[in-house]
Amino acid sequence: MTTAGTTPTPRRARTRYDERMYALMNRREAPGLYATVGRRRAVVVVHILLTVASLAAVFSALATATVWLSFLPLVLVLPWCMATAVINAATRGLLELRTRVLDERQLAERDRVRALAHRLTTYVLLCAAAGGIVVGELGGLTAGGAVLPVLISAFVVHWLMPLWVAGMTAQDEPADERDE
């Protein structure tokens, strides 16, 4: 509703890219992979484990100069991408689509997911800092050698936490939407 002399703020039109991404994120070829809460959470756990395994392989390869460990992330990237695709399909692209493509409910859900992910990342970083202090004090170790792996891990957690939270908190679709 507008008053005389004012016009509503126009919402930017969807582009072909927006339409293509919306169609891609809303494909329903394999709903069995994410149809239930348990399956969605299992995919998120697998995604987390693949991420941790990749990071551990890279850090171990750098620390021990073991060449074969540096190739493990290349082997894990395909299942990692597949798990990412399943999470994106389960959330219907909540974090991947542009704002202009999402409706008000989806925008509120995205804001809620990002806020929760931010809080969880803060707790992870707090625990990492406390753990580093404890290990340093009790073990007499210096933190210099662990700074780069910790910073990289913190970046990865910060980057992926919204995806993990969205996958863990995604609600089941109403029965009428699944039947169509």
Residue 73: closest CA among 95, 49, 98, 54: 54
Assigned token pair, 153 = 């891990």
Tokens representing 36? 């239930």
Each residue's pLDDT, cut to its tens digit, for the chain (180 residues) gives 444 554 444 456 778 888 888 888 887 777 778 888 899 999 999 999 999 999 999 989 888 888 888 899 999 999 999 999 999 888 888 888 888 888 899 899 999 999 999 999 988 888 887 877 777 777 666 666 667 777 788 889 999 999 999 999 888 776 655 544
Q: What is the pTM of this model?
A: 0.77
Residue from 123, 110, 121 nearest 169 by CA: 110
How many alpha carbons fall within 13 Å on the CB side of residue 59? 15
